[in-house]
């Protein structure tokens, strides 16, 4: 750091020891010397807007995201009666879903419990749009608003990143990590999977190509 004429800012420096929950007791708790400063280890650290905890469960990231989203929803609810529905949807998209989807690709592989906490934000937003009570089911409301559930939102973000990597519009450190392959796998499509596909495409199966309605395999 001295060779590059840099100086350590102790107030903005964190030391994070990462280990599984079973090995947390083996992590040293004493301060670590970084340069001329002693920095005490922390249980969670923030880097580029993402909170990473010592157990790498992303629980801290989810908790802070949910807290920020519900704070924005409370502000929108205070002016709900003065806003038309299209303006309400725009505010939710701008102030809530931006926070919900920010860096959500790091949540791949996280527990269902954390997904449920994020899903509670989508459920609350849907109830706010239609002025429904908390005891009412939100699945029809989410379908009506065309809101993807949390696992699908994470998968969509990964697909967007992969698309940019394939078309060389992503940063080099991401594009270099993807390697194209010519291998083609075939997924056997059962009757149940075909019905699920048709349901996901809408109530009108005619909108689905005939090859998808009657095929027994889908190349990937």
pLDDT value, residue 207? 46
* pTM of the predicted model as reported, rounded to 2 decimal places: 0.72
Are 152 and 90 members of one domain? yes
Structure tokens at 110: 């996280």
Q: What is the pLDDT of residue 167?
A: 85
Structure confidence at residue 124 (pLDDT): 94
pLDDT, position 126: 93
Q: What is the model's pLDDT at position 136?
A: 85
Residue ending a domain, among 112, 145, 161, is: 161
Domain that holds residue 153: 58-161
Residue 64 resides in a domain = yes
Burial tier of 192 (Cβ tally within 10 Å: 0-12, 13-18, 19+): exposed
Same domain, 111 and 63: yes
Q: What averages of pLDDT result for each successive group of 10 residues across the chain (220 residues)?
A: 74 81 80 78 85 88 95 93 91 94 90 94 94 88 92 92 87 80 57 49 48 46
Within a domain: residue 215? Answer: yes
Tell me: do 20 and 84 sit in the same domain.
no
Whether 176 is in a domain gets the answer no
The residue count of the chain comes to: 220
Distance from C-alpha of 141 to C-alpha of 149, rounded to nearest angstrom? 12
Q: Spell out the long-range contacts of 196-202 with Cβ–Cβ below 8 A and sequence spacing 24 or more.
A: none
| Angle, vertex CA 146, rays to CA 141 and CA 151, nearest 5 | 95
Indicate whether 73 and 135 sit together in one domain: yes
Cα dihedral sign, 48-53-57-59: negative
């Amino acid at each position: 750091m001295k060779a590059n004429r840099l100086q350590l800012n102790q107030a903005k420096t964190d030391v994070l020891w990462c280990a599984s929950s079973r090995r947390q007791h083996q992590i040293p708790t004493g301060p670590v010397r970084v340069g001329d400063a002693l920095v005490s280890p922390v249980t969670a650290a923030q880097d580029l807007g993402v909170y990473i905890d010592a157990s790498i469960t992303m629980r801290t990231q989810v908790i802070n995201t949910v807290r920020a989203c519900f704070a924005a929803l409370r502000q929108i609810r205070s002016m709900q009666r003065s806003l038309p529905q299209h303006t309400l949807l725009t505010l939710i998209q701008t102030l809530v879903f931006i926070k919900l989807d920010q860096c959500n690709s790091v949540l791949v592989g996280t527990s269902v419990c954390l997904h449920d906490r994020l899903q509670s934000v989508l459920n609350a937003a849907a109830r706010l749009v239609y002025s429904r009570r908390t005891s009412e089911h939100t699945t029809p409301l989410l379908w009506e608003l065309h809101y993807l559930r949390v696992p699908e939102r994470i998968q969509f973000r990964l697909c967007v990143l992969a698309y940019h990597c394939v078309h060389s519009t992503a940063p080099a450190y991401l594009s270099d990590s993807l390697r194209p392959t010519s291998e083609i796998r075939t997924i056997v499509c059962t009757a149940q999977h075909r019905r699920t596909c048709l349901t996901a495409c809408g109530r009108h199966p005619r909108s689905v190509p005939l090859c998808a309605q009657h095929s027994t395999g889908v190349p990937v």
